[in-house]
């Protein structure tokens, strides 16, 4: 999504702010188990049956954190994508959760 904000019957959602949310907070609130390995943030991939953390979180200079799984190459995107996948909800619903409760 390229929109900064999207309105609708349920109110507006600031997607840019949701993308820049605190990753440790999102991981704590979703129970995904963020770990650090040599300064890299990793977790189990939600896109495949991951036994060893292969989903890497990459910090961008603009404040966003992007994710990428080096095992399946399917997991790509932002905090919103990760919460949507982990919770089985829409992108919009995930953005609202992140903004309201840090991903929970």
Q: Which domains does the chain have, with CATH numbers?
A: 31-101 (3.90.580.10)
The confidence score (pLDDT) of residue 81 equals 83
Q: What value does the mean pLDDT take over residues 76-91?
A: 85
pLDDT in tens, 19-59: 777 777 777 777 777 888 887 888 888 888 888 888 888 87
Contact (Cβ atoms closer than 8 angstroms) between residue 59 and residue 46: no
Angle at which helices 79-87 and 91-101 cross, to 10°? 110
pLDDT at position 5 over 60: no
Model pLDDT, residue 102 = 54
pTM above 0.85, yes or no: no
């Amino acid at each position: 999504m390229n929109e900064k904000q999207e309105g609708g019957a349920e109110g507006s959602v600031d997607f840019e702010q949701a993308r820049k949310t605190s990753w440790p907070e999102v991981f704590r609130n979703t129970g995904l188990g963020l770990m650090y390995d040599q300064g890299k943030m990793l977790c189990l991939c939600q896109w495949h049956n991951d036994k060893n953390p292969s989903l890497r979180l990459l910090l961008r200079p603009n404040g966003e954190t992007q994710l990428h799984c080096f095992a399946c190459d399917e997991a790509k995107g932002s905090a919103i994508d990760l919460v949507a996948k982990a919770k089985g909800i829409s992108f919009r619903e995930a953005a609202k959760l992140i903004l309201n409760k840090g991903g929970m």
